Structure 1
Amino acid sequence: MDLEAIYQNIDRRDTESTTGAQTQSHGRDEEKDLQHRGSRYLVLISVGLGLICVLLLVFIILLNITITAERDMTNGYKNTVEELSQTINSLQDKHTDLTQKNLELETKVKDLTAEKNQLQRDFDSLNKKGPVCFFMSTELSWSDSRQYCKDRGADLVIINTEEKQRFISSLVSERVWIGLSDSENEGVMKWVDNSTLKQGFWLKDQPNDSGNQDCIELNYEREKPGWSPLNSWNDFSCSVKKKGICEK
């Protein structure tokens, strides 16, 4: 083999060796480029997933805030409705109470008006029978009260009609003697003019003659059970001192 052939052979080997080395180097570069691109893709995917997670977290937070706000608003509306309902009920109760009180006052006004009219009729009826004068004695026993009246040209009052009973009841504001007793004959009530009692205006369970009670008083205590202008007489001990009604 000649030298030229040897050199050609060497040159070919060198060329192949260089080409092989270049090929291997190019392959490694491509592999590195692929790895670099893969890393970038992975970073992008991670960043994208991170953003999605952040957005989901923000959405959840906003949703929770919205739900909480709506719940608070709903509770606020509910409380307001309950308060308004309680206020309305309270106003209705007050209106009912006021209506009831108004009806009671109207009834009292009617009763007082009727009583006033009755007293006026009684007064007019008494005046038709002639001028009459009534006055009070000082606090004395029944007999001393009668004497007080006599000393002034009068006597203890005689009450023989409903009109007169109503009228005398309207004049007094304390327990007073009237001109009636059974001191002469127990159980036989007589007026100071010696006439026998025909119509009495007794309190419930009276007269009871408890403890030698022979003289009659007119009791003004309106809170007493069964009291009324036509039910106010009571027998009492004649020695007790109280005012008497004189009639002249």
Structure 2
Amino acid sequence: MAVSFKQFSFSILVGWSSFQSSLYFFSRGRASWYTARVDCRQRGADLVIISSLQEQVYLSRQRYYTAWIGLTDRETEGVWKWVDETPLTVGYWMQSQPDNWRGREDCAHLHRYRRRWNVEDCNEHLSWICEMKV
């Protein structure tokens, strides 16, 4: 069955919100960072890369839950990279973060109350934010 461009565009937009040149999907469920990333990729997106203060403010105003973002130091402790392999240049960390508490925190999330980034064990189950560049 062929899908017209109009139908395809509408199906992508359902459940997504837009800001600047990206579309965002805010999950309702919870999953590990790894599973969250798979879900985003299945949607034709990836975990969000926060590249400006404006984007940080926009996303922090949308969330009612703590949510995974596409930032990790899994490969090398203390070397933070986005899911597209670009290095972190500007961060919006909570005070005293990243701390790698108990040596197990390698994935970043947007904290629901503080509206800043925190680190967590990648196997914890949190909500997540997908981003699709348009």
Report which of the two structures shows the higher radius of gyration computed on alpha carbons.
Answer: 1
Q: Which residue of 2 aligns with 1:186?
A: 77
Q: How far off is 1:186 after superposition?
A: 0.7
Q: Which residue of 2 aligns with 1:39?
A: none
DSSP-derived class of the 2:108 partner: strand
Among 96, 110, 131, which residue is 1:247 paired with?
Answer: 131
Q: Which residue of 1 aligns with 2:99?
A: 208
Runs (4+) of structure 1 exceeding 6 A deviation are: none
What residue identity is the alignment partner of 1:139?
Answer: R
RMSD across aligned positions (CA): 1.7
Question: Where does the alignment leave 5 or more consecutive residues of structure 2 unmatched?
Answer: 1-17
Q: How far off is 1:200 after superposition?
A: 0.3
Q: Deviations over 1:36-77 (max 9, x none)?
A: xxxxxxxxxxxxxxxxxxxxxxxxxxxxxxxxxxxxxxxxxx
DSSP-derived class of the 1:133 partner: strand
Distance 2:41 2:30 in 1: 15
Q: How far off is 1:152 after superposition?
A: 0.7
TM-score (norm 1): 0.44
Q: 2:101 aligned with 1:217, yes or no?
A: no
Q: 2:26 aligned with 1:136, yes or no?
A: yes
Q: Deviations over 1:152-184 (max 9, x none)?
A: 101000001100000000110111000000001
Q: Which has the higher strand share?
A: 2
Distance 2:65 2:111 in 1: 7
TM-score (norm 2): 0.80
Q: Deviations over 1:97-126 (max 9, x none)?
A: xxxxxxxxxxxxxxxxxxxxxxxxxxx9x4
What residue identity is the alignment partner of 2:62?
Answer: L
Q: Which residue of 1 aligns with 2:45?
A: 154
DSSP-derived class of the 1:244 partner: strand
What residue identity is the alignment partner of 2:30?
Answer: E
Q: Which residue of 2 aligns with 1:97?
A: none
How does 1:39-188 map onto structure 2 within 5 Å?
126-127=19-20, 130=21, 132-137=22-27, 138-188=29-79
What residue identity is the alignment partner of 2:37?
Answer: R
Among 82, 99, 119, which residue is 1:235 paired with?
Answer: 119
For CA contacts below 8 A with separation 6 or more, give which structure has more relative contact order. Answer: 2
DSSP-derived class of the 2:101 partner: coil
Identical positions, percent? 38
DSSP-derived class of the 1:196 partner: coil
* Aligned residue-pair number: 114
Question: Where does the alignment leave 5 or more consecutive residues of structure 1 unmatched?
Answer: 1-123, 222-226
Q: How far off is 1:136 after superposition?
A: 2.2
Distance 1:180 1:239 in 2: 14
